[in-house]
């Protein structure tokens, strides 16, 4: 991230499964994020947003919680500036929930 996004504001939306090494993942990725919005993918194995936020605060100064994945992405859009980068990370389940919204952004007149 440092190599490709130097000088850019990075806003991330992150949701993970409870049975994954989320602490280790966050220790590697979260220090690069200016704002991290934690959420909960819509699957039974998902880690709760509050629990993920607690761990994320160890590595990122600005951590927000939004349990609904699409609302978390919308929040990232509202926070991100023109030159900001938005990451959706942590789980393919999360990415699959948000992907249709990303793909339809250009078609929605936004």
| pTM recorded for the entire structure | 0.90
Q: What is the pLDDT of residue 106?
A: 53
Q: Are 2 and 65 in contact (CB under 8 A)?
A: no
Q: What is the pLDDT of residue 87?
A: 96
Q: What is the pLDDT of residue 12?
A: 98
What angle is formed at CA 41 by the lines to CA 47 and CA 55, rounded to 5 degrees? Answer: 35
Residue 41 reports pLDDT greater than 70 = yes
For the segment 64-80, the average pLDDT, to the nearest whole number, is: 96
C-alpha to C-alpha distance for 45 and 82, rounded to whole angstroms = 35
The full set of domains in the chain, from first to last, is 14-67 (3.90.190.20)
The DSSP-derived string for 40-108 is: --SSTTBPPHHHHHHHHTTT-S-EEE-SSHHHHHHHHHHH--TT-EEEEES-HHHHHHHHHHHHHGGGT
Q: Give the max Cα distance, the chain.
A: 39
The token duo for 33 is: 């994020």
Of residues 109 and 10, more confidently modeled: 10
What angle is formed at CA 109 by the lines to CA 105 and CA 110, rounded to 5 degrees? Answer: 60
Residue 108 reports pLDDT greater than 80 = no
Helix (H) or strand (E) holding 37: strand 35-38
């Amino acid at each position: 991230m440092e190599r490709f996004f130097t000088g850019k504001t990075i806003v991330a939306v992150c949701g993970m499964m409870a049975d994954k090494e989320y602490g280790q993942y966050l220790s590697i990725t979260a220090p690069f994020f200016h704002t991290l919005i934690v959420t909960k993918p819509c699957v039974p194995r998902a880690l709760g947003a509050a629990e993920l936020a607690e761990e994320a605060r160890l590595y990122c100064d600005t951590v927000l919680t939004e349990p609904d994945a699409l609302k978390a992405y919308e929040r990232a859009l509202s926070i991100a500036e023109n030159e900001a980068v938005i990451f959706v990370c942590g789980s393919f389940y999360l990415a699959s929930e948000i992907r249709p919204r990303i793909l339809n952004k250009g078609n929605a007149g936004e």
